[in-house]
A and B are shown apart, each in its own frame.
Chain A
Amino acid sequence: MRHTAHHHDTQELVPYGYDDLNRFLSMMSGDEKHSEASTSTLDVIWTLYDKVLKVDPLNPQDPNRDRFYLSKGHGPMAYYAVLAAKGFIAPSILSAFASAESPLGHHPDRRRIPGVEISSGSLGHGLGLGVGAALAIGLARSQGRVFVLMGDGELEEGSNHEAIAIAGRFGIGRLTAIVIDNQSATHGWPGGIEQRFAVEGWLTDVVDGRDHVSIAKAVSVSHPEMPLAVVARVGGHQ
Protein backbone atom coordinates (compact mmCIF):
# COMPACT_ATOMS: atom_id res chain seq x y z
CA MET A 1 0.00 0.00 0.00
CA ARG A 2 1.38 3.36 -0.94
CA HIS A 3 1.79 5.98 1.74
CA THR A 4 -0.70 8.71 0.99
CA ALA A 5 -1.12 10.42 4.35
CA HIS A 6 0.44 13.61 3.08
CA HIS A 7 -1.24 13.72 -0.26
CA HIS A 8 -3.60 16.50 0.78
CA ASP A 9 -0.70 18.58 2.06
CA THR A 10 1.12 18.47 -1.24
CA GLN A 11 -1.31 20.84 -2.88
CA GLU A 12 -0.26 23.52 -0.40
CA LEU A 13 3.44 22.89 -0.77
CA VAL A 14 4.16 23.46 -4.42
CA PRO A 15 6.33 25.08 -5.53
CA TYR A 16 9.73 25.14 -3.88
CA GLY A 17 12.93 26.01 -5.67
CA TYR A 18 16.48 24.76 -5.89
CA ASP A 19 17.48 27.13 -3.11
CA ASP A 20 15.21 25.24 -0.73
CA LEU A 21 17.02 21.94 -1.23
CA ASN A 22 19.86 22.63 1.19
CA ARG A 23 17.34 23.45 3.88
CA PHE A 24 15.51 20.22 3.16
CA LEU A 25 18.74 18.25 3.19
CA SER A 26 19.70 19.73 6.55
CA MET A 27 16.46 18.39 8.03
CA MET A 28 17.68 14.80 7.46
CA SER A 29 20.40 13.22 9.59
CA GLY A 30 21.57 9.76 10.52
CA ASP A 31 22.94 8.56 7.17
CA GLU A 32 26.20 10.47 7.12
CA LYS A 33 28.07 7.54 5.58
CA HIS A 34 26.06 8.18 2.42
CA SER A 35 26.12 11.98 2.48
CA GLU A 36 28.56 12.15 -0.43
CA ALA A 37 26.48 9.68 -2.41
CA SER A 38 23.43 11.79 -1.73
CA THR A 39 24.80 15.19 -2.65
CA SER A 40 26.47 13.86 -5.80
CA THR A 41 23.05 13.21 -7.28
CA LEU A 42 21.40 16.45 -6.17
CA ASP A 43 21.78 18.54 -9.32
CA VAL A 44 20.87 15.74 -11.72
CA ILE A 45 17.74 14.78 -9.79
CA TRP A 46 16.71 18.40 -9.43
CA THR A 47 17.21 19.08 -13.12
CA LEU A 48 15.26 16.02 -14.13
CA TYR A 49 12.30 16.90 -11.94
CA ASP A 50 12.47 20.62 -12.70
CA LYS A 51 13.15 20.59 -16.44
CA VAL A 52 12.71 17.14 -17.97
CA LEU A 53 10.34 14.66 -16.37
CA LYS A 54 6.67 14.74 -17.19
CA VAL A 55 5.35 13.84 -13.77
CA ASP A 56 2.53 15.18 -11.65
CA PRO A 57 2.37 14.76 -7.87
CA LEU A 58 -1.40 14.95 -8.09
CA ASN A 59 -1.51 12.13 -10.62
CA PRO A 60 1.54 10.00 -9.76
CA GLN A 61 0.22 6.90 -11.56
CA ASP A 62 -0.53 8.58 -14.88
CA PRO A 63 0.28 5.86 -17.43
CA ASN A 64 1.80 8.46 -19.74
CA ARG A 65 4.13 9.87 -17.09
CA ASP A 66 7.89 9.58 -17.26
CA ARG A 67 9.42 7.10 -14.84
CA PHE A 68 12.43 8.03 -12.72
CA TYR A 69 14.26 5.06 -11.21
CA LEU A 70 16.87 5.82 -8.57
CA SER A 71 18.87 2.65 -9.07
CA LYS A 72 21.70 4.02 -6.97
CA GLY A 73 19.54 3.89 -3.85
CA HIS A 74 22.31 4.81 -1.45
CA GLY A 75 21.99 8.25 0.06
CA PRO A 76 18.51 9.16 -1.10
CA MET A 77 18.36 12.44 0.85
CA ALA A 78 18.72 14.43 -2.36
CA TYR A 79 15.87 12.41 -3.86
CA TYR A 80 13.66 13.01 -0.85
CA ALA A 81 14.52 16.72 -0.88
CA VAL A 82 13.52 17.02 -4.53
CA LEU A 83 10.34 14.98 -4.00
CA ALA A 84 9.46 17.39 -1.20
CA ALA A 85 10.25 20.42 -3.31
CA LYS A 86 8.11 19.10 -6.14
CA GLY A 87 5.12 18.22 -4.01
CA PHE A 88 5.27 14.42 -3.84
CA ILE A 89 5.91 14.40 -0.10
CA ALA A 90 5.50 17.03 2.57
CA PRO A 91 8.74 18.73 3.68
CA SER A 92 7.60 18.30 7.27
CA ILE A 93 8.24 14.55 7.12
CA LEU A 94 11.90 14.98 6.21
CA SER A 95 12.96 15.62 9.80
CA ALA A 96 11.80 12.15 10.82
CA PHE A 97 14.11 10.63 8.17
CA ALA A 98 14.85 6.96 8.86
CA SER A 99 12.96 6.90 12.15
CA ALA A 100 10.49 4.15 12.95
CA GLU A 101 7.65 6.59 12.31
CA SER A 102 8.90 7.64 8.88
CA PRO A 103 8.37 6.13 5.43
CA LEU A 104 11.74 7.58 4.46
CA GLY A 105 14.46 4.98 4.92
CA HIS A 106 18.13 5.08 4.06
CA HIS A 107 17.02 3.46 0.82
CA PRO A 108 13.83 4.53 -0.98
CA ASP A 109 10.74 2.33 -0.69
CA ARG A 110 8.18 2.53 -3.48
CA ARG A 111 5.51 1.04 -1.30
CA ARG A 112 5.87 3.75 1.34
CA ILE A 113 6.65 6.93 -0.59
CA PRO A 114 4.42 8.61 -3.20
CA GLY A 115 6.24 9.20 -6.46
CA VAL A 116 8.99 6.64 -5.83
CA GLU A 117 8.85 4.20 -8.73
CA ILE A 118 11.23 1.48 -7.48
CA SER A 119 12.56 0.34 -4.14
CA SER A 120 16.33 0.33 -4.37
CA GLY A 121 19.46 0.10 -2.28
CA SER A 122 21.20 -3.06 -3.39
CA LEU A 123 23.15 -1.89 -6.41
CA GLY A 124 22.59 -3.12 -9.93
CA HIS A 125 18.84 -3.63 -10.03
CA GLY A 126 17.45 -0.43 -11.53
CA LEU A 127 18.59 -0.76 -15.11
CA GLY A 128 17.15 -4.25 -15.60
CA LEU A 129 13.87 -3.02 -14.17
CA GLY A 130 14.09 0.02 -16.41
CA VAL A 131 14.55 -2.12 -19.51
CA GLY A 132 11.46 -4.14 -18.59
CA ALA A 133 9.40 -1.05 -17.86
CA ALA A 134 10.46 0.62 -21.09
CA LEU A 135 9.50 -2.48 -23.07
CA ALA A 136 6.13 -2.58 -21.32
CA ILE A 137 5.46 1.09 -22.02
CA GLY A 138 6.26 0.43 -25.65
CA LEU A 139 3.89 -2.52 -25.78
CA ALA A 140 1.16 -0.33 -24.27
CA ARG A 141 1.94 2.41 -26.81
CA SER A 142 2.05 4.91 -23.96
CA GLN A 143 4.08 8.09 -24.05
CA GLY A 144 6.25 7.61 -20.97
CA ARG A 145 10.02 7.47 -20.91
CA VAL A 146 12.23 5.75 -18.33
CA PHE A 147 15.19 7.52 -16.71
CA VAL A 148 17.50 5.39 -14.56
CA LEU A 149 20.01 7.11 -12.29
CA MET A 150 23.10 5.04 -11.57
CA GLY A 151 26.56 5.53 -10.15
CA ASP A 152 30.03 4.83 -11.46
CA GLY A 153 30.61 2.55 -8.48
CA GLU A 154 27.30 0.82 -9.06
CA LEU A 155 28.39 -0.02 -12.58
CA GLU A 156 30.78 -2.55 -11.08
CA GLU A 157 27.80 -4.83 -10.56
CA GLY A 158 27.71 -7.25 -13.48
CA SER A 159 23.93 -7.19 -13.68
CA ASN A 160 24.17 -3.67 -15.16
CA HIS A 161 26.14 -4.93 -18.10
CA GLU A 162 23.52 -7.55 -18.90
CA ALA A 163 20.95 -4.77 -19.01
CA ILE A 164 23.21 -2.39 -20.95
CA ALA A 165 23.73 -5.05 -23.61
CA ILE A 166 20.10 -5.95 -24.16
CA ALA A 167 18.89 -2.35 -24.07
CA GLY A 168 21.33 -1.60 -26.87
CA ARG A 169 20.41 -4.70 -28.85
CA PHE A 170 16.73 -4.00 -28.50
CA GLY A 171 17.23 -0.34 -29.42
CA ILE A 172 15.07 0.93 -26.58
CA GLY A 173 14.69 4.58 -27.41
CA ARG A 174 12.52 5.46 -24.45
CA LEU A 175 15.27 4.48 -21.99
CA THR A 176 17.88 6.88 -20.61
CA ALA A 177 20.59 6.03 -18.10
CA ILE A 178 22.33 8.82 -16.24
CA VAL A 179 25.55 7.74 -14.55
CA ILE A 180 26.80 9.95 -11.74
CA ASP A 181 30.58 9.75 -11.99
CA ASN A 182 32.13 10.82 -8.73
CA GLN A 183 35.05 8.45 -9.29
CA SER A 184 33.93 6.04 -6.62
CA ALA A 185 34.45 2.88 -8.70
CA THR A 186 37.02 0.65 -7.04
CA HIS A 187 39.13 0.15 -10.14
CA GLY A 188 37.97 2.99 -12.35
CA TRP A 189 36.71 2.77 -15.93
CA PRO A 190 39.61 2.95 -18.39
CA GLY A 191 38.51 4.54 -21.65
CA GLY A 192 35.56 6.24 -19.98
CA ILE A 193 32.25 5.04 -18.66
CA GLU A 194 30.47 6.19 -21.79
CA GLN A 195 32.41 3.65 -23.85
CA ARG A 196 30.80 0.80 -21.90
CA PHE A 197 27.45 1.96 -23.24
CA ALA A 198 28.55 3.08 -26.70
CA VAL A 199 29.97 -0.32 -27.60
CA GLU A 200 26.57 -1.86 -26.89
CA GLY A 201 24.73 0.56 -29.16
CA TRP A 202 23.80 3.43 -26.87
CA LEU A 203 23.95 7.09 -27.78
CA THR A 204 26.22 8.71 -25.19
CA ASP A 205 27.19 12.08 -23.80
CA VAL A 206 29.31 13.40 -20.94
CA VAL A 207 28.31 16.49 -18.98
CA ASP A 208 29.18 18.46 -15.89
CA GLY A 209 26.93 16.94 -13.25
CA ARG A 210 26.46 20.31 -11.56
CA ASP A 211 25.48 22.21 -14.72
CA HIS A 212 21.71 22.19 -14.93
CA VAL A 213 21.55 23.54 -18.47
CA SER A 214 23.98 20.94 -19.78
CA ILE A 215 22.25 18.11 -17.97
CA ALA A 216 18.83 19.10 -19.29
CA LYS A 217 20.14 19.51 -22.81
CA ALA A 218 21.94 16.17 -22.80
CA VAL A 219 19.00 14.10 -21.57
CA SER A 220 16.57 15.86 -23.91
CA VAL A 221 18.18 14.93 -27.22
CA SER A 222 16.13 12.81 -29.57
CA HIS A 223 17.12 9.13 -29.61
CA PRO A 224 14.07 7.26 -30.87
CA GLU A 225 15.80 4.04 -31.87
CA MET A 226 18.61 3.68 -29.35
CA PRO A 227 18.95 4.15 -25.60
CA LEU A 228 20.80 7.16 -24.25
CA ALA A 229 23.51 7.20 -21.59
CA VAL A 230 24.63 10.46 -20.05
CA VAL A 231 27.66 10.45 -17.78
CA ALA A 232 27.38 13.28 -15.27
CA ARG A 233 30.72 14.07 -13.72
CA VAL A 234 30.78 15.50 -10.22
CA GLY A 235 34.01 16.24 -8.36
CA GLY A 236 37.39 14.64 -8.69
CA HIS A 237 37.72 15.25 -12.42
CA GLN A 238 40.49 17.47 -13.70
Chain B
Amino acid sequence: MSNTMRSRFNSTVVDLLGDDPLTVVVLAAIGASGFSAETRRTFGGRIIDVGIREQAMIGVAGGLALEGLRPIVMSYTPFIVERPFEQIKLSLTHQGVHATLVSIGGSWDAAGEGRTHQAPEDVALISTLPSWTVHVPGTPHEAEQAIRTSHWSGQSHYIRLTDDSNAQSFEGELGKVATLRRGSDSAPTVLAVGPVATDVLEATTGMDATVLYTTVPRPIDANGLRAAVVGTDIVIVEPYLAGTSVAEVAAAVADTPTRIRAVGITNPEMQHYGNPRELRAAHGLDAVGIRRALESGRTQVAF
Protein backbone atom coordinates (compact mmCIF):
# COMPACT_ATOMS: atom_id res chain seq x y z
CA MET B 1 0.00 0.00 0.00
CA SER B 2 1.28 3.45 -0.88
CA ASN B 3 2.53 5.41 2.07
CA THR B 4 2.61 9.02 0.87
CA MET B 5 -0.27 11.19 -0.22
CA ARG B 6 1.29 11.64 -3.62
CA SER B 7 1.76 7.93 -4.28
CA ARG B 8 -1.73 7.31 -2.95
CA PHE B 9 -3.00 9.87 -5.44
CA ASN B 10 -1.50 7.87 -8.28
CA SER B 11 -2.86 4.50 -7.16
CA THR B 12 -6.30 5.96 -6.45
CA VAL B 13 -6.50 7.73 -9.79
CA VAL B 14 -5.52 4.56 -11.63
CA ASP B 15 -8.41 2.84 -9.86
CA LEU B 16 -10.77 5.61 -10.92
CA LEU B 17 -9.58 5.44 -14.51
CA GLY B 18 -10.46 1.76 -14.46
CA ASP B 19 -13.76 2.17 -12.69
CA ASP B 20 -15.11 5.19 -14.51
CA PRO B 21 -14.77 5.73 -18.27
CA LEU B 22 -15.54 9.42 -17.73
CA THR B 23 -12.40 9.90 -15.65
CA VAL B 24 -9.67 11.89 -17.35
CA VAL B 25 -6.41 13.12 -15.84
CA VAL B 26 -4.86 16.42 -16.92
CA LEU B 27 -1.27 17.25 -16.04
CA ALA B 28 1.23 19.96 -16.88
CA ALA B 29 4.44 17.88 -16.90
CA ILE B 30 4.53 17.61 -13.11
CA GLY B 31 3.24 14.23 -12.02
CA ALA B 32 3.40 12.63 -15.43
CA SER B 33 6.12 10.23 -14.31
CA GLY B 34 3.79 8.95 -11.62
CA PHE B 35 1.89 6.99 -14.25
CA SER B 36 3.65 3.98 -15.71
CA ALA B 37 3.97 3.33 -19.41
CA GLU B 38 1.60 0.43 -18.98
CA THR B 39 -0.97 2.65 -17.31
CA ARG B 40 -0.69 5.14 -20.13
CA ARG B 41 -1.19 2.39 -22.69
CA THR B 42 -4.14 0.97 -20.81
CA PHE B 43 -6.00 4.26 -20.53
CA GLY B 44 -4.98 5.71 -23.85
CA GLY B 45 -5.95 9.33 -24.24
CA ARG B 46 -7.37 9.71 -20.75
CA ILE B 47 -4.05 10.75 -19.23
CA ILE B 48 -3.33 14.09 -20.87
CA ASP B 49 -0.03 15.85 -20.26
CA VAL B 50 -0.08 19.32 -21.84
CA GLY B 51 3.52 20.06 -20.91
CA ILE B 52 4.50 23.05 -18.83
CA ARG B 53 1.38 24.99 -19.75
CA GLU B 54 -0.75 25.52 -16.68
CA GLN B 55 -3.32 27.83 -18.25
CA ALA B 56 -3.91 25.21 -20.92
CA MET B 57 -4.05 22.54 -18.23
CA ILE B 58 -7.11 24.11 -16.62
CA GLY B 59 -8.60 25.27 -19.93
CA VAL B 60 -8.37 21.76 -21.35
CA ALA B 61 -9.92 20.39 -18.17
CA GLY B 62 -12.77 22.87 -18.64
CA GLY B 63 -13.33 21.72 -22.20
CA LEU B 64 -13.33 18.09 -21.14
CA ALA B 65 -15.84 18.90 -18.40
CA LEU B 66 -18.05 20.76 -20.88
CA GLU B 67 -18.35 17.46 -22.71
CA GLY B 68 -19.38 15.57 -19.60
CA LEU B 69 -16.06 14.08 -18.54
CA ARG B 70 -14.80 14.20 -14.95
CA PRO B 71 -11.31 15.74 -14.97
CA ILE B 72 -8.79 15.22 -12.22
CA VAL B 73 -6.04 17.84 -12.46
CA MET B 74 -2.81 17.73 -10.48
CA SER B 75 0.22 19.98 -10.11
CA TYR B 76 2.35 21.78 -7.58
CA THR B 77 0.35 24.18 -5.40
CA PRO B 78 1.36 27.50 -7.02
CA PHE B 79 1.05 26.07 -10.51
CA ILE B 80 -2.45 24.71 -10.13
CA VAL B 81 -4.00 27.53 -8.08
CA GLU B 82 -2.14 30.78 -8.56
CA ARG B 83 -0.82 30.71 -12.12
CA PRO B 84 -4.08 29.57 -13.79
CA PHE B 85 -6.45 31.17 -11.28
CA GLU B 86 -8.50 32.98 -13.92
CA GLN B 87 -8.93 29.71 -15.79
CA ILE B 88 -10.26 28.11 -12.60
CA LYS B 89 -12.65 31.02 -12.23
CA LEU B 90 -13.79 31.27 -15.86
CA SER B 91 -12.99 28.01 -17.65
CA LEU B 92 -14.48 25.91 -14.86
CA THR B 93 -16.63 27.77 -12.33
CA HIS B 94 -18.15 30.38 -14.66
CA GLN B 95 -18.93 27.72 -17.27
CA GLY B 96 -20.85 25.80 -14.64
CA VAL B 97 -18.67 22.71 -14.97
CA HIS B 98 -16.60 20.87 -12.42
CA ALA B 99 -13.25 19.24 -11.79
CA THR B 100 -11.19 17.83 -8.97
CA LEU B 101 -8.02 19.89 -8.56
CA VAL B 102 -5.25 18.23 -6.56
CA SER B 103 -2.20 20.13 -5.39
CA ILE B 104 1.03 18.69 -4.10
CA GLY B 105 3.68 20.43 -2.06
CA GLY B 106 1.53 21.95 0.67
CA SER B 107 3.18 24.93 2.30
CA TRP B 108 6.61 23.59 3.16
CA ASP B 109 7.42 20.47 1.14
CA ALA B 110 9.44 22.66 -1.22
CA ALA B 111 11.50 24.16 1.58
CA GLY B 112 14.65 24.15 -0.47
CA GLU B 113 13.04 25.57 -3.59
CA GLY B 114 11.63 28.53 -1.72
CA ARG B 115 8.85 30.98 -2.45
CA THR B 116 8.46 30.17 -6.14
CA HIS B 117 7.23 26.70 -5.24
CA GLN B 118 5.13 27.63 -2.22
CA ALA B 119 1.58 28.93 -2.19
CA PRO B 120 0.17 29.09 1.34
CA GLU B 121 -2.46 31.46 -0.07
CA ASP B 122 -4.06 28.62 -2.06
CA VAL B 123 -6.99 27.78 0.19
CA ALA B 124 -7.83 31.46 0.63
CA LEU B 125 -7.84 31.96 -3.12
CA ILE B 126 -10.00 28.94 -3.87
CA SER B 127 -12.33 30.05 -1.09
CA THR B 128 -13.14 33.22 -3.02
CA LEU B 129 -14.89 31.10 -5.65
CA PRO B 130 -18.43 29.88 -5.04
CA SER B 131 -19.26 26.23 -4.50
CA TRP B 132 -15.76 24.80 -4.12
CA THR B 133 -15.10 22.25 -1.41
CA VAL B 134 -11.59 22.33 0.07
CA HIS B 135 -9.93 19.20 1.45
CA VAL B 136 -6.78 19.25 3.56
CA PRO B 137 -6.16 15.58 4.33
CA GLY B 138 -3.80 14.68 7.14
CA THR B 139 -2.77 11.22 6.01
CA PRO B 140 -2.55 9.19 2.78
CA HIS B 141 -5.70 7.33 3.81
CA GLU B 142 -7.59 10.58 4.23
CA ALA B 143 -6.22 11.78 0.90
CA GLU B 144 -7.60 8.72 -0.82
CA GLN B 145 -10.98 9.23 0.80
CA ALA B 146 -11.00 12.84 -0.36
CA ILE B 147 -10.04 11.97 -3.93
CA ARG B 148 -12.64 9.23 -4.30
CA THR B 149 -15.45 11.21 -2.70
CA SER B 150 -14.66 14.32 -4.70
CA HIS B 151 -14.49 12.48 -7.98
CA TRP B 152 -17.83 10.80 -7.65
CA SER B 153 -19.57 13.91 -6.32
CA GLY B 154 -19.59 15.62 -9.71
CA GLN B 155 -18.84 18.92 -7.99
CA SER B 156 -15.78 21.18 -7.71
CA HIS B 157 -13.18 20.11 -5.19
CA TYR B 158 -9.71 21.29 -4.28
CA ILE B 159 -7.56 18.70 -2.48
CA ARG B 160 -4.34 19.86 -0.85
CA LEU B 161 -1.75 17.08 -0.57
CA THR B 162 1.56 17.25 1.24
CA ASP B 163 4.46 14.98 2.11
CA ASP B 164 3.70 15.90 5.69
CA SER B 165 1.41 13.54 7.52
CA ASN B 166 -0.20 13.00 10.88
CA ALA B 167 0.93 9.99 12.92
CA GLN B 168 -2.47 8.42 12.38
CA SER B 169 -5.78 9.12 10.68
CA PHE B 170 -8.09 11.03 12.97
CA GLU B 171 -10.96 11.47 10.59
CA GLY B 172 -14.18 9.61 11.09
CA GLU B 173 -16.71 10.55 8.45
CA LEU B 174 -15.24 12.71 5.71
CA GLY B 175 -16.01 16.35 6.27
CA LYS B 176 -17.24 15.95 9.84
CA VAL B 177 -15.53 17.69 12.74
CA ALA B 178 -13.97 15.08 15.04
CA THR B 179 -13.13 15.57 18.69
CA LEU B 180 -9.59 14.40 19.49
CA ARG B 181 -9.44 15.57 23.10
CA ARG B 182 -12.06 17.01 25.44
CA GLY B 183 -11.21 19.83 27.84
CA SER B 184 -13.26 21.46 30.57
CA ASP B 185 -16.32 23.57 29.86
CA SER B 186 -14.23 26.75 30.02
CA ALA B 187 -11.29 25.42 28.05
CA PRO B 188 -10.36 26.87 24.69
CA THR B 189 -11.14 24.87 21.58
CA VAL B 190 -8.26 24.26 19.21
CA LEU B 191 -9.36 23.29 15.71
CA ALA B 192 -6.58 21.47 13.85
CA VAL B 193 -6.88 21.36 10.07
CA GLY B 194 -5.26 18.43 8.27
CA PRO B 195 -1.61 17.54 8.79
CA VAL B 196 -0.99 19.79 11.82
CA ALA B 197 -3.13 17.62 14.08
CA THR B 198 -0.34 15.50 15.55
CA ASP B 199 1.61 18.62 16.45
CA VAL B 200 -1.49 20.29 17.89
CA LEU B 201 -2.04 17.28 20.15
CA GLU B 202 1.57 17.42 21.27
CA ALA B 203 1.38 21.18 21.77
CA THR B 204 -1.71 20.90 23.96
CA THR B 205 -0.43 18.04 26.10
CA GLY B 206 -1.04 18.97 29.72
CA MET B 207 -3.16 21.97 28.78
CA ASP B 208 -6.86 22.26 29.49
CA ALA B 209 -8.02 22.38 25.88
CA THR B 210 -10.52 20.74 23.60
CA VAL B 211 -8.90 19.64 20.36
CA LEU B 212 -11.02 19.24 17.24
CA TYR B 213 -10.01 18.01 13.82
CA THR B 214 -11.23 18.52 10.30
CA THR B 215 -9.93 17.86 6.82
CA VAL B 216 -12.63 19.94 5.15
CA PRO B 217 -12.29 23.60 6.14
CA ARG B 218 -14.66 24.73 3.42
CA PRO B 219 -17.54 24.31 3.78
CA ILE B 220 -16.90 23.51 7.40
CA ASP B 221 -19.13 21.10 9.28
CA ALA B 222 -21.04 23.90 11.01
CA ASN B 223 -23.35 21.68 13.02
CA GLY B 224 -20.50 19.48 14.20
CA LEU B 225 -18.42 22.49 15.13
CA ARG B 226 -21.23 24.16 17.05
CA ALA B 227 -21.90 20.96 18.95
CA ALA B 228 -18.24 20.44 19.82
CA VAL B 229 -17.31 23.96 20.93
CA VAL B 230 -18.00 24.45 24.62
CA GLY B 231 -16.06 27.51 25.77
CA THR B 232 -15.83 30.92 24.17
CA ASP B 233 -12.31 30.77 22.73
CA ILE B 234 -11.56 29.05 19.43
CA VAL B 235 -8.07 28.79 17.98
CA ILE B 236 -7.80 27.63 14.36
CA VAL B 237 -4.48 26.02 13.46
CA GLU B 238 -4.08 25.71 9.69
CA PRO B 239 -1.02 24.73 7.62
CA TYR B 240 -1.40 27.69 5.27
CA LEU B 241 -2.18 31.40 5.39
CA ALA B 242 -3.23 32.36 8.92
CA GLY B 243 -6.87 33.29 9.20
CA THR B 244 -7.99 31.57 6.02
CA SER B 245 -10.85 29.74 7.73
CA VAL B 246 -11.88 32.40 10.22
CA ALA B 247 -14.92 33.46 8.21
CA GLU B 248 -16.13 29.87 7.89
CA VAL B 249 -15.74 29.23 11.62
CA ALA B 250 -17.22 32.61 12.58
CA ALA B 251 -20.30 31.94 10.49
CA ALA B 252 -20.69 28.50 12.06
CA VAL B 253 -20.69 29.87 15.63
CA ALA B 254 -22.33 33.22 14.89
CA ASP B 255 -25.11 32.59 17.38
CA THR B 256 -22.74 32.35 20.34
CA PRO B 257 -20.32 34.91 21.80
CA THR B 258 -16.94 33.66 20.64
CA ARG B 259 -13.40 34.86 20.29
CA ILE B 260 -11.63 33.37 17.31
CA ARG B 261 -7.88 33.35 16.93
CA ALA B 262 -5.83 32.02 14.05
CA VAL B 263 -2.49 30.26 13.87
CA GLY B 264 -0.97 29.71 10.47
CA ILE B 265 1.53 31.17 8.06
CA THR B 266 1.82 34.93 8.31
CA ASN B 267 4.93 35.52 6.26
CA PRO B 268 4.88 33.74 2.91
CA GLU B 269 7.95 35.77 1.94
CA MET B 270 10.01 34.31 4.75
CA GLN B 271 12.78 33.19 2.38
CA HIS B 272 13.87 30.56 4.84
CA TYR B 273 15.28 27.34 3.38
CA GLY B 274 16.40 24.01 4.82
CA ASN B 275 14.21 20.95 5.07
CA PRO B 276 10.41 20.90 5.36
CA ARG B 277 10.48 20.33 9.11
CA GLU B 278 12.77 23.29 9.60
CA LEU B 279 10.62 25.56 7.45
CA ARG B 280 7.51 24.46 9.27
CA ALA B 281 9.20 25.29 12.58
CA ALA B 282 10.26 28.67 11.22
CA HIS B 283 6.60 29.39 10.48
CA GLY B 284 5.78 28.46 14.08
CA LEU B 285 3.68 25.51 13.04
CA ASP B 286 5.51 22.67 14.75
CA ALA B 287 4.44 21.57 18.23
CA VAL B 288 6.80 24.04 19.93
CA GLY B 289 5.57 26.98 17.89
CA ILE B 290 1.91 26.09 18.28
CA ARG B 291 2.36 25.71 22.06
CA ARG B 292 4.10 29.06 22.21
CA ALA B 293 1.23 30.70 20.36
CA LEU B 294 -1.39 29.10 22.59
CA GLU B 295 0.39 29.97 25.86
CA SER B 296 1.17 33.52 24.92
CA GLY B 297 -2.38 34.21 23.86
CA ARG B 298 -0.81 36.02 20.96
CA THR B 299 -1.67 34.39 17.71
CA GLN B 300 -0.45 35.61 14.40
CA VAL B 301 -3.83 36.93 13.42
CA ALA B 302 -6.61 37.91 15.80
CA PHE B 303 -10.18 38.62 14.76
Contacts and interface: CB of A to CB of B under 8 A. Distances in A.
Interface residues of A, number: 29
B56 interface: yes
Given A132-B63, A132-B64, A138-B45, A162 B50 contact: yes
A125 B24 contact: no
A169 B49 CA distance: 11
Interface string A112-138: 000001110010110111111111111
B59 A133 contact: no
A132 B71 CA distance: 10
B67 interface: yes
Nearest to B71: A132
Chain B interface size band reads 20 to 34
A139 B94 contact: no
B112 interface: no
B96 A133 contact: no
A166 interface: yes
Contacts of B32: none
A125 B66 CA distance: 13
A162 B56 contact: yes
A169 B26 CA distance: 16
Given A130-B63, A132-B63, A132-B64, A111 B96 contact: yes
Nearest to B63: A132
B46 interface: yes
B59 A163 contact: yes
Contacts of A125: 59, 62, 86-87, 90-91
B111 interface: no
Nearest to B94: A119
Interface of B: 24, 26, 45-46, 48, 50-51, 53, 55-56, 58-69, 86-87, 90-91, 94-96
Given A128-B63, A130-B63, A135-B45, 9 more contacts: A110-B95, A132-B66, A135-B64, A139-B45, A139-B69, A159-B56, A159-B59, A166-B50, A166-B51
27 contacts: A119-B90, A119-B94, A122-B86, A125-B62, A125-B86, A125-B90, A128-B62, A128-B63, A128-B91, A129-B59, A133-B63, A133-B66, A133-B67, A134-B63, A135-B48, A135-B60, A136-B67, A136-B69, A137-B67, A139-B46, A158-B55, A159-B55, A159-B56, A162-B53, A165-B53, A165-B56, A166-B51
